Amino acid sequence: MTQNWVQHTLARRGWRPQNQIAVLLGLGVLIVLIFAGVYLSQVASYATTIREVEALLEERDRLEFTNEQLRADIAELQTVPRLLTRARELGFRPAEARDIDYIVVDGYNPNRSNTVLGLPVNDEYLDQPAYDETFSGWLQQQFDTLRQQFESFGR
């Protein structure tokens, strides 16, 4: 009996054009609200991310400024007058002529030109093929590989 009552109610009511328009408008409003909610969620997420990036940029700028201040402090502490004063505080004094000992090294010529020692030659490296890494060499290698692949298909 319950099924007859439901069918009777639906059959009596029917889908009239006014009802269809109202339902479609309601669904349209619901879809617009869902899209608006998703859009607002994305905008809020984007705004939060932008705030975090701005905070990180401010922190980076602050750290760079602090680093520059520290570099300036180090440069100030490394000035010659400051180093001389600190050396005197530690007990050092300027060297005098009687404090300097000269050493004579046989065969040393201070007026020679700078030379570089030669590397020992290893025969193992002489047997290596010539280095051919040009575009034409690479292209030839690719073409040879392609040709070998086609030849292997026929076998």
Note the pLDDT tens digit of each residue in 98-122: 989 988 888 888 777 766 666 666 6
How many domains does the structure of the chain reveal?
A: 1
> What per-residue confidence (pLDDT) applies to 16?
61
Is 51 among the domain residues? yes
Is 48 among the domain residues? yes
Is 154 among the domain residues? no
Is 18 among the domain residues? no
Q: What percent of the chain has pLDDT over 70?
A: 75
Rounded to an integer, what distance in angstroms lies between the CA atom of residue 149 and that of residue 63? 59
> What per-residue confidence (pLDDT) applies to 39?
95
> What per-residue confidence (pLDDT) applies to 113?
72
Is 117 among the domain residues? no
> What per-residue confidence (pLDDT) applies to 149?
87
Kind and range of the H or E element at 19?
helix 17-77
Q: How confident is the model at residue 34 (pLDDT cuts 50, 70, 90)?
A: very high
Is 7 among the domain residues? no
35-71 residue pLDDT tens: 999 999 999 999 999 999 999 999 999 999 999 999 9
Global pTM value: 0.40
> What per-residue confidence (pLDDT) applies to 119?
62
The percent helix, strand, coil of the chain (3-state, each to 5) is 70, 0, 30
Counted residue by residue, the chain has a size of: 155
Here the tokens at position 66 are 């602090």
Is 106 among the domain residues? no
Q: How confident is the model at residue 133 (pLDDT cuts 50, 70, 90)?
A: confident
Is 67 among the domain residues? yes
> What residue numbers bound the domain in which 58 lies?
34-90
Judged against a pLDDT cut of 80, whether residue 77 lies above it is answered with yes
Sign of the torsion angle spanned by Cα atoms 47, 53, 56, 57 = negative
